[in-house]
Amino acid sequence: MSEEKRDTSSTPGKKTELDRRAFFVKLGLGSLSIAATGTAVFAYQFLSPNVLYEPSPIVNAGKPEGYPEDSVTLDVNSGIYLIHTREGFFALSAICTHLGCMTAWKPELGIIACPCHGSKFTREGIKTDGPAPRPLPWLRTWLSEDGDLMVDRSTTIRPMQFVRI
């Protein structure tokens, strides 16, 4: 028995062939890595909630008559601006593109300003000052069948697309 063992280990011509020990080591490492991958996938899926109890992204902003021309109205609860200009209505996200603070409309200066790190935006969302990397996004806005202004906070659109009534 010991004679045979010595024979196989010292045969130089059989290097490409897997011996039993190397085969089991490979099998063990292979199954361990499969198990580790499975654990990682399991952990990731477990930690990502499948159902979220968050408010709906679609907001009913009410009748257009509630917004006089040349006005900027912030809804603090939904984090959007409803803006009525001569060209029409549009909705702007009030969440600063820098680090997610809620911005505020400054009527005396005619700008949107972020209290956290001093970013400033025009009424159209264009950044004029501060660290914000992007302009405030325009949100998809439409008129419902009942005549209410609807805003979808999860869908951004290209700027300057007004809702005309």
Partner 1 sequence: MAKTINNYFDELRSTRVWRSVFRSGTGSSTLHRALAVQQNVFLHLFSTKVRRRMVSFSTTWYLGTLTFGTFLILVITGILLMLYYHPSVPQAYADTKDLQFVVSSGMFLRNLHRWSAHAMVFLVFAHMFKVFYRGAYRPPREFNWVIGVVLLLITLLLSYTGYLLPWDQLAFWAITVGSNIASAVPVLGNRVHFLMLGGNQVNANALLRFYVLHCVILPLAAILFIAVHFWRIRKDGGLYSHQTEPKTIVAQTTPAAAALAKDPQ
Contacting residues toward partner 1, per CB under 8 A: 44, 47-49, 52-54, 98-101, 116
Query: Which residue type does 20 have?
Result: R
What is the nearest approach in angstroms of partner 1 to the Cβ of residue 96? 9
Give the nearer residue to partner 1 in terms of CB position, either 10 or 154. 154
Measured from the CB atom, the residue of 66 and 100 that comes closer to partner 1 is 100
Phi, psi (degrees; rounded to nearest 5) at 145: -65, -30
**Least distance from C-beta 1 to partner 1, angstroms?**
45
Alpha helix positions (H), the chain:
2-10, 20-47
> The tokens 């020990």 sit on which residue?
21
In the bound complex, what is the minimum distance in angstroms from residue 134's beta carbon to partner 1?
Answer: 13
CB-wise, 97 or 141, nearer to partner 1? Answer: 97
For 8-114, where are the E strands, in sequence order?
Answer: 58-62, 71-75, 80-85, 88-93, 104-106, 111-113
Q: Which residue, 1 or 76, has its beta carbon nearer to partner 1? A: 76
Residue with Cβ nearer partner 1 (53 or 65)? 53
CB atoms within 10 A of CB 83: 24
Least Cβ distance, residue 155 to partner 1 (angstroms) = 14
Q: Whole-number minimum distance, CB 19 to partner 1, in Å?
A: 38
